Amino acid sequence: MSTAFGLDIGGTGIKGGIVDLGTGELLSERVRFDTPQPATVAGVLDTAAAVVTATGWEAPVGCAFPGIVKGGVVGSAANIDDEWLGENLESRLAERLGVPVRSLNDADAAGLAEMRLGAGRGRAGVVMMLTLGTGIGSALFIDGRLVPNTELGHLELDGPNVESRTSAAARKREGLSYEEWGARLQRYFSHVEALFSPDLFIVGGGISRKADRFLPLISVRAPVIPAHFRQNSGIVGAALHSVE
């Protein structure tokens, strides 16, 4: 059985675990610590290292990050400290952990997991993964190939940055019922559908555990299905990416 370590840095929590690369199953406990606030470079590196150490893992690591990541370098920092802009996440984390690191955007990681081993397995055409968490992440696949860093949580819809009104964190912050939040999701999904005409939507993020509460409220042409790995998609995708 081949295994790898997936680390998922989020705006609220830093999660990780050892993943079976054949099935995407977690072979260790899912370790989670709160993201330090402010989420500075030093603070996030410390917490990320604590997550890895807690499992006893000492080999290469895949890391999902909540911003644009190109060639290991951070290109945006909406839900994490601005200090991260332009930082080489891969080399900083590799130095901290003493093992090689490969990194990618968190929604892209989640999408990778779902396309390879989860809800999107074997699906051709245009697949759009949206993650609803502290922000909104997006991952676009065309015949199984990722178009990275699409950043559709920052679309302008009823104001700048749709994620600030439509993420799972926004629902909590504003005390919205699932019906009220569902109306916002409906507007967002319709907008994304008008732009990309996906053949399938996959919905991830922590809230996807409660998919039955809000997915029935979204009606678009394409099917909308929950992520198979739910809140663990990012961990699984980061692990898969570490051996790519």
Binding site for ligand BGC (CB under 6 A): 66-68, 76, 78-79, 105-107, 131, 133, 135, 137, 151, 153, 163
DSSP annotation of 127: E
Least Å from the CB of residue 17 to ligand BGC? 18
Q: Which CB sits closer to ligand BGC, 87 or 106?
A: 106
Phi (first) and psi of residue 171, to 5 degrees: -60, -45
185: Cβ contacts below 8 Å, ≥ 6 apart = 132, 166, 214, 217, 218
CB 22 to ligand BGC: min, Å: 26
CB atoms within 10 A of CB 148: 16
What SS3 state is found at 91? Answer: helix
24/111 with CB nearer ligand BGC: 111
How far, in Å, CA of 188 to CA of 100, rounded?
38
DSSP letter (8 states) at residue 185: H
The phi, psi pair for 232, rounded to 5°, reads: -100, 0
Cis amide prior to 38 (ω within 30 degrees)? yes
Cα(first)–Cα(last) distance of the chain, in Å? 16
Q: Closer CB to ligand BGC, residue 57 or residue 165? A: 165
Distance CA 113, CA 120 (A): 9
Minimum CB distance to ligand BGC, residue 47 (Å): 16
| CB-nearer residue toward ligand BGC: 101 or 152 | 152
Name the β-bridge partners of 6.
17, 62
Quick one: 68 or 240, whose CB is closer to ligand BGC?
68
CB of 108 vs ligand BGC, minimal distance in Å: 8
CB-nearer residue toward ligand BGC: 66 or 182 = 66
Minimum Å gap between C-beta 194 and ligand BGC is: 21
Nearest approach in angstroms of CB 133 to ligand BGC is 6
